[in-house]
Every structure is written in structure tokens, then in C-alpha cells.
Structure 1
Amino acid sequence: MEKEKALDLIKELSNANGVSGFEDEVVAVLKKYGKEIGELSEDRIRNLFLKRQENKENQPIVHLDAHTDEVGFMVQAIKPNGTLVFLTIGGWVASNIPAHRVRIRNSDGGYIPGIIASQPPHFMSESDRNKPLDVGEMVIDIGSLSYDETVNDFKVKIGAPVVPDVAFEYFPEKERMFGKAFDCRIGCAAMLDTIGRFQGKELPVNVIGSFSSQEEVGDRGIKVAVKEVQPDIAIVFEGCPADDTFSEPHMIQSALSKGPMLRHMDVLMITNPRFQKFALDIAKKYDIPVQESVRKGGGTNGAVINLAEKGVPTIVLGIPVRYAHTHYSIVSFSDYQHAVNLAVKIIEELDAATLASF
């Protein structure tokens, strides 16, 4: 995919509204770009599948996956003063939430702006200022003055999804991208780009991609998707948390502009060491920069695929994202490019015999 088209795709994916369970806008963007690449289909949980038209019968299946949802919020109740009580969707730290703009979907299907508010410091006691802020003490203010105005004029009801209100920006002089939802929209873009590189080409393996839903709330979509794909091997694209702005130098394992990250272990999965070595050897062979990590936290859709059927060798190809699970994230375009290039080279060198060796 040409650079400008890739940037357009990433921009549209980042700007799309799509907390877990409400990924419709994201799916629409992927359909727009994916229809030129292969055969598209959906299931009932809003997983979107992309199959190469060149796939053949009786070939091993390489499953590519990236999740479409983002962390956000949901309206739980409406107060008499018109403000919104909300719950978090996905993993948030309370201190990152207040004083930011959000978008709330109303009953007409449009999104209206709001601000996450907490008690102003002018009305806090000294003890109030020093205690940790709880999500239950925050509200979303849409400028309404009453319950009736919120429901009847703004048309906001309980159950409404809420997303961070952030617009994508690209800074070409440093090839850095700013925006929301790079976990995992940057992975979605990389996966679509990867599949597109094989248009018109013959491969000894079949490639099927799943843009899976609801990863941020317990890897739900992939549990359905893997049954549909029935893979022999898998690559999971992720927007992985970058650690280069807070870690000691010897602990930095997912820095910006140092290449994609291959994870040896996290809380939910120990990566197949043979497949991992194969991927690292490919990176070295083609001089593609890559980082390695061992994590004591986190987890990905890879854990679900890894445990499917008789066990599926799976690697996680992470593109570093600074400040994932906050309103604002930063990604290097070069990391995106290297992730796509590495995935392409890995797939090109896979065949039935190689898969058997894992």
C-alpha cells in the first residue's frame, strides 16, 4: 500500500468511533479499503473476515488477527441536573480520565461532545485534594441543565457508548502519528496492508484475516472468530504499550521508532519458541528492525488462538503505542512499515513443512 493511502487508512480508523460492542464505524472503514483486496464476510458479533481470493483448498491456514474496538465508556445513568454517570469499557487508570473531551452517541446515531468532569478544586477540602479520584465521582457534562433536556433535546439515553474526542494528526518531518485508538487500529491497518501485498500472488498457504470485536473486554470476538477460521498458525497484530518514556534503559523493550515488538511471554501466553525464533530469524535475514519483550502483565487475542483446537502456534507482532488506553497516543510510521514488511516476509517463507516444525 502506498504511503499516502496507508496514512488515509490509519487516519480514518483512528478517528472512527468504536468502543467494544459498537465497532460499526470501524468495520465500515475496513470494508471500504478491504473490498479491493479480497472476500469480505461478517459474523453476528461483528467480526469482519478478509480472505485472499487466491486461497486454495487443502492448504495450511495462516490466521492474521487485529481487534477493532477501543477503550471508552458507557452511560449508566442520567442525573437530575442532566450530567451523565458512566462506567469504563476496557482498562483505564482513573487519573487519566477527567478533564478530557468525549463523544457520546445519541439515539439518532450521531455523536455529541461532552467533557468528563469532577468536583472543582475550589470546593475541595485539603483531604479531598489528597485522596485518589474514583471514576464514581466523575460525570460527563454535555452542557445540559436537566434530565429532561438530556433525554429529550440531546437525545442521550442510558447504554450510550462514549469515545475519546481526539482527531488524528500526522507530522511528516518526524513521521509520527498522534491520535486515539491506536490500540489496535494501527494493527488493523497493518494487517489489511499485509494481506494486500499478496494480491495476485500464489502462496503455499492460505491467508485469512479477522478484524475481531470486543478484545478490550475479555477477548470475546476472537473466541468466535477462531472457530470460523480454524487456523494452523497465527500472527496477531497489536498496538502494544510503548515503554520508552518511563522505564530504565535496560528495561525498554517496546520503544518508538525501533521496529515492531515480538513478545516472548505475557500473563496469558508463552509464545511458541520455535515460531518466535523463526520470526526473529526472518527479521535478521531481511534486516528488519525488531524488538523483543517479556511481559509480566497484559494479554492479547493470541492467547485465545494459541489454545484453540489442538493448539495453534501464534506470535504477537506489536507496533509500539505511547500512552495506550488514554485519550492520546503516539505511533511512529516507520514501526508500522517494518511490521508490515516483517509479516509479509514471514508469510512468504511459510509452508506445510515449516508449520510442522513448530
Structure 2
Amino acid sequence: MQQLLEKLTALHGPCGHEQPVSKWVRDKVSPLVDEVKVDSLGNVIATKKGTQGGPVMVMTAHMDEVGFIIKKIEENGLLRFEKLGGNDDRLLLTQKVQLRTKKGLLTGVVGSISAHYAKFDDASKVRNHRHLYIDIGAKNKEHAIELGAEVGTPVTWKPSMEYLGDERTGRFVGKGFDDRAGCAVLIQTLHELQDAKFSGTVTAVFTVQEEVGLRGAQVAARQVKADVAIAIDTTAVSDTPEETMDKTLALGDGTGIKVLDFSLISHPAVKEKLIQLAENKNIPHQLEIFPGIGTDGGAISLANHGIPTGVLSIPSRYAHSPVEVIDMTDLTATKELLKAFILDLGEETEFTFID
């Protein structure tokens, strides 16, 4: 999955501007499924039929990443911007970004005062993003426009993915793991289902605009009459020394089986099946209760007459930053448990709330 992840995280696709990701994913999964379509919002919906009848199962991950959008070009060529998704103002200063213009990609940097001026500033002040700017090297407004910048230009962190430490750690640092890592899990699962016998139908839904309110999932879920769903997303670990961390979820300890977050209380039957499979197959896992996050699973669960939904979480450090960190052990465990869930489905499998 490393190569999949490298290609996915290199793509430029902030909320509402996921076109390069939608196209790449559509083309990548087309040979692996029986049917694939891209809906009017940009969601990629790929369906693979099993070898015998059974339930319709949805697995979903979101393609968008947090980013920015240009809202003004100053006379001196610096660019003002707004956020797309949840960015922390404390992380913005001096970070490299990438603009996707009609003329091509541009490298920029979120500007800051020189360290030499810090003595004249309030060191405790965190400037609101609306007071900040992106520098693309333009000499003036006309030059910025000539380079391709305009109001509405989408921006992401500058792409990067490499080992954290080196290959001995099994950990990677880069941008966009939230949730291109989940997309990689779905694509790899489809690969591994090619020669497998399974019941029912698997529909992989790669959604847009998750980071701005689960919008793509709301639209996509209405298009699929599903019997059960599993969302794949990253989640923030709590294993670092800050005083707010409670050590309930750790990097490298396996996939997170969601109990609840602010968008979803996992369906009991789905959650228990995931736990049972993880224990029986010795797949490293941990239980996740984290009200500070939401996933497409929340939107999927409310579709149609209600869909029994669970979530598998890929533990991550430094979420929504240009230096997100994941462990390949967790990524592999997530894929293995998702595949085990699919292969465990039978022709008569149901996920009822009460017996």
C-alpha cells in the first residue's frame, strides 16, 4: 500500500476541488469492479458483485483533504486566503503550500515575520488566518496573475511523503493521509477481492467534501440501498505528552474499532462483529471513543431507512497538518479487518439492532 499512498497523497484535492483525485481513483478502480461512476458532486461509486447472493455492503473513505482557497490578490502580489476544512492557525506560519492554477502548479509559503523582528512583536499572539498571506514569489499583483493566481484558486500543503526516521520505523510522515490512507485501504481491498469468493455486493464509495460537513457522503448514501456499511478514516491518537492527551489510542497499536464519535454511535452488531473478527484472526486493534471527530460513517448511517454502520480508524499523529504521521502496521491491520468483514458475510447475514 505504500506506493498507493504515495500516489494518492501527491494528488491535489482540497474540499470541493477533488477533481484530480476523483479522476485518478475512477481510473484506478475501473479494472477491479463491475461498474464505476462519478456522480455530479464528484463522489466515485464503484460496485463489485460477489460470487453468490447476499447483503449489499458499502465501504467508504473520503478523497478530500483540508486546504485553502485564494480570496484576494494584494497589490504587492501576496495572496490572502480562506480555509477549506479544519486548519489550526497555530500551524500555518512558514509552511510550504501548493496552488493548483489553470496554468499549472505553483509553490508558495505562508508568510511570517523574520525571527529578528520577534522582539518587537507579541510572542504569545496567534494571528488569525485572515491576517496571514501566501507568498508565491510574485513581484506585484500583475505578476501574480501572470503566474496563474486568481480568486478561487485551491491550495493544499506542499505534497510530501517519506519515512519518519527511516525504513526501520515503519512510519510515514506527509500531508493528506486524512483520508487518502483510507482510500488506499479501499483500493487495496478491491485488489485482494479479485480472486476471492464472497457473498453479496461490495460498493466502494470515495467521497468528496467530508472535511466541510460530510457533504459528499450524504449525497452518495442516497444512491446505494445498503444493508451494512464500514467507513475508513484516520483518527487522532492521544499518546503524546500534552496535558490534554489521555493515552486511550496509540500509534502502532492496530486499527481503531469505533465505539462512538460526535457523528456516530456505532451499530452494536457491526461493532461486535468487527471485534470478534479481530480477536479470532489476531488482527491488532483498539477500541475508539473520541467525541472530537466525525466521519462519513455518521452520514451513511442516516441514509434511506438507516444503515447499520461501523468505522475502522487509522491512528494518526498531527492530523490536518503538513506532517501527519501514520504507522504501516495500523494501515495493514485496517485493510485486513475490512477484508475479513467482507469475506465473513453470508447469503443470509443481517445486522439487526435486537435479536
Say if 2:46 is the partner of 1:46: no
What letter corresponds to residue 147 of structure 2 in structure 1? F
Secondary structure class of the residue paired with 2:71: strand
Matches within 5 A, 1:1-358: 6-38=1-33, 39-54=35-50, 59-108=54-103, 110-123=104-117, 128-151=122-145, 153-170=146-163, 171-246=166-241, 251-351=246-346, 353-358=348-353
Distance in 2 between residues matched to 1:264 and 1:356, nearest whole Å: 16
Q: If the length of structure 2 is used for normalisation, what is the TM-score?
A: 0.93
Q: Deviations over 1:315-340 (max 9, x none)?
A: 11011111110111111111111111
Give the corresponding residue for 1:3: none
The change in CA–CA distance for 1:254 and 1:25 in structure 2 (over 3 A counts) is farther
Report the alpha carbon displacement of residue 12 of structure 1 after superposing the two structures with TM.
Answer: 0.3
- On the 8 A contact 1:20/1:89 being kept in 2, the answer is yes
What letter corresponds to residue 141 of structure 1 in structure 2? D
Q: Deviations over 1:122-164 (max 9, x none)?
A: 456756333222111110001112111111x212100000010
Distance in 2 between residues matched to 1:235 and 1:21, nearest whole Å: 23
Cα RMSD after superposing both structures = 2.0
Secondary structure class of the residue paired with 1:188: helix
Structure 2 residue runs of 5 or longer lacking an equivalent are: none
Report the alpha carbon displacement of residue 242 of structure 1 after superposing the two structures with TM.
Answer: 2.2
Report the alpha carbon displacement of residue 259 of structure 1 after superposing the two structures with TM.
Answer: 0.6
In terms of mean alpha carbon deviation, does 65-74 or 306-315 score higher? Answer: 306-315
What letter corresponds to residue 139 of structure 1 in structure 2? Y
Distance in 2 between residues matched to 1:50 and 1:318, nearest whole Å: 21
Distance in 2 between residues matched to 1:247 and 1:294, nearest whole Å: 19
- On the 8 A contact 1:15/1:179 being kept in 2, the answer is no
Distance in 2 between residues matched to 1:357 and 1:270, nearest whole Å: 15
Report the alpha carbon displacement of residue 249 of structure 1 after superposing the two structures with TM.
Answer: 11
Aligned pairs, how many? Answer: 350
What letter corresponds to residue 2 of structure 2 in structure 1? L
In terms of mean alpha carbon deviation, does 170-179 or 283-292 score higher? Answer: 170-179
Secondary structure class of the residue paired with 2:276: helix
Q: If the length of structure 1 is used for normalisation, what is the TM-score?
A: 0.92
Report the alpha carbon displacement of residue 201 of structure 1 after superposing the two structures with TM.
Answer: 3.1
Structure 1 residue runs of 5 or longer lacking an equivalent are: 1-5
